Structure 1
């Protein structure tokens, strides 16, 4: 066996030995760099290969979708299905190849670097240390004077011991070098040979697969030749038809090219019109208009989203305009705006006017059935005022919502399986989910989890703030409190059945919730809560009339005493009370904990005028807390013993953002309290202009929808814009809505 470094030279510690060591050490350092680079390249190759397999699988699924779409063509469907099956087999072969590559190159070479090269480095450190000690001993021995016998003996003994230790360590180091140099060859060649055999197997499998597919592809090629001949024949027939139509004269019937009152595609009328702008210059622009789905819309370019001129044709009228200089003009007037249009001829103007009038009559017959269907599909949690066409510049959508939510601790990975970069969320739980776990959450039902996309759906500001108040870490501390104690491990990505069982046990059965660890506030904090609650009630009373204050005063005093006893008596603690208290504290984690322990979201406090957690959230002044309760099924119309619901209390306290939220979520603004007052009358007495505006707009919109039969529809676009503005202001600039409270304090 050829030795890289000679053992005899090691004992001499000669310059030749040191030169050999220097060469070997440099070689090993270079070897480590090369191996590290090779392992990194292998990892990149495997990752790229897996990404290729994922893309290939998506492509294969696209072929299968195309095959299903072509079910009426037996040849295309059979061929595409067979080809997709073959591609799936190749994907499987690729997956096996990458697994074998990982074992042969990545794992084996990494092990060599971590184990053998690490031993070499450790031996090198020991050798360098003992070499330095030997050099120091030699220098000290040489410097001792002959007349100092005691120092001479001491230096000699140290030198002898050091030399002995050096020989031992040096021999071990040389042994480690020689073993490493011998082993490196076998390790490198063994891993590469295994890698090449994996490729050999992969290509053999692919060859065998396509050898079986070859005869079928040959037969299909023959069929394709016949299809080409048939396509050429059809092309000649279409060219002949084109020539025949081209010879017709359309000069006297241009209107037929632009409109068709009985079009089968749902478009009643379409064509170019000039539209007068609403700006100060009153410029005219030519746009492509159409009447469809009982709406009047226009586009500048084909790919542009249509701009809606009239949301509902039943609410508009159409008339001729002869009092302007331009010819062939007519005007479409709706309750909120008017639009001046110009046709290219008198015949086209009459056609457009007739089309609008016909659509108005048709809309009255059809809109009732459509509204009934939409009413059945609408979600009870969103209320009757949510708009499905909210503008993108007013609502957060896509990457903006994704980035804000994923910044919350724990949200960068799926709450249930840990998969990175989740793109879905459960809005009532306040967690992020991967696409597979989100599908399982949907199957639980909306009373357990309401799933929404972080990139595809629009996000109202109060809902986005709710997500940022909670997060995966907070929720998992509640719903997975006993996970380790029970010896249960979370499922990994890809384990579909295990995930389903785990998610159902976690959220439906709540098996992992620690039923004996419900947190409570310290007594000092509870006293502050009671004091603040009483202060809010006194503020609420100050906004009532004199008769109301006299009647409510004794009840409120008694309620404050009872409230104090209920809050401070921890012996009678229960989940409903925890939710009730946390709602006032604006503490969403505690609220989530209470719900996990089975708290009724509509629990009423019999010691506090049967107030609910939602009413407490109003008194606490938090918009996000109200949204969290509503998303978890809180009844927006549940009232206390004085007949006041959340909308009443928000109006009394002047919480404009909460009033806006409750109206959007379907609050009944016609409900009256014991004094016979509804929220609007209370707001008028208090001279709160913002809340009066919101309530009157909501009432006007409701009356308009009822009179026109638009049940379940969002209503007027202007109304929707105003409510979106208030929602944005309440979430992002709440100080602007405190004008009423600030003005009251001045007096």
Structure 2
């Protein structure tokens, strides 16, 4: 809005109205510009704070990239993106500087100079306007008669009018100037501000466009990482569920022997070590077997302390006479070291690991000219320290020959390498040294490995190995390899190929049939080319089998002539016989639950069928709710099958699980007079204090049945428990007697049928 100069000289009402409108407009413009100035100042301060914090954030990203130097993909991604972000923040700072410069040059100058000058001119105009009004009023009041006053008033009016016209013209000039200037000053500021934004975003777009190819590459890698992370999460959740289902408080499978570990550490874990000082204190240390040495340390950064410098010059043996449990001793020509594990399985694992490491050390140094001298020195040292090892060579050779004569056992079960000298006792197969190391890495819940030449073998374990063999087990675990056209690894294959095969075969069980094939013929036990008749099955006859009269004494199946038991025994054996009678030799039992098949096979002493059932997921502690909650182990006891009981125990059967009458395997062995089985269960940790529903423990049952051998065993075991409870180590008599009973139960079971009918009277 412009004002005409002519109108200002007239000082007309139109001029005064325009002046009022202009003054209101300028006043409103000033308030709005002051508000905009305040907002712009706040925006600039906030923007600088944002840029400062962004710079700190980018510095943190760079620090993170330094931490991720080991991961080239992540480190490169963080560095490149941080550089791009830093350029964009610098561009943002340039935007703020440009905005502040335009803001100062346009808005602040307009407010502080132009509007201020307008307001000062307005004040002078108002003052001159008031002076003019006063002069006009005075001039109008002068009377005619006072000529002198009239002239003075007229002169004052002329001066006031001239001053008013000058200021009015100046004021109109300021009005017109500010009206025209406010347009281009505000537009100029906005244009400079938008040009700064345009430059900022154009520079950002150019910077990001240079990163477009790399951004797509990283996005693809990120997508792959997300997929892999999802798979890993699913696998970890499944593994978490599997591990959580285990009894972690007694999980001895966490300690594994790995003969070909990439790190060179074939075995490691915590053991207690007895000090060699006068106080004989025990300290917990982290032990490991590496580089053919037994070493330990307290903390990771501590220097390794060498216990045995060369494993070929040492031997290891359990310390059964020590007052502390699970102790074993590593003995070398220069010193001995007493160690203690956390459990019996842990102790056996360490002993086997040391023995296997000794054998591996000899195999690795077979070309060394001093190897034979070391071997002779080791054997002499071992024989001197443990006299029971003196005749081991001939015994071990006999075991090796006996086991290798079985069909398929002359070659490794998994890679067919000839002359295997290792075995898995719960599977009943022979293995080469490389496959045995892989089997150890699976854990004892899948495979328990022993050496056919270096370890001692109980008679029942030898019988177990002879009942199964590579051919039998491969018919189960490799039933579908021809159908699936899968090639079995050869001895020349790499360890990784063998390990993949073994895990697929025994852990994932990819090659077994959907249904147990041996369920058709499980009632027959195969020994060579002959079939034994099941105990309790009568000969073919036209006459029905005689049933025992109530109150008469009946021999249980598998008990030699001359052993008779009371009615509870007759009931048990009769029920087993009835179960077997109801099962035809040709009956197809493949559709049975694996646990039920294991239960039926245990009663028939068919180890191949039992192995087949276990391969198909049978629980060794399966409970038959329809038969007094009995387990497969109790069924094997009722049939007096030492080898079936040993097989179930090696595959995780509980030696103390009782039936609905409160009778465990030891109770049934005592009732039936199976001395060999009672000896086996006592060696495996059977509880003697457990009582059945009638309140009888195994010792009272043995005394009642006048079984002298079992009474002797139970009393010896009870004395041994009392000695251990009092902290006494005892002597070797206990172990010698148990060893004799085990050998007799395996080789001459008829000698264990001694009864003393005066035993009850003498005890009472």
Specify which structure has the bigger relative contact order, considering alpha-carbon pairs within 8 angstroms and separated by 6 or more residues: 1
TM-score by length of 2: 0.44
Higher share of residues assigned helix: 1
Larger radius of gyration: 2
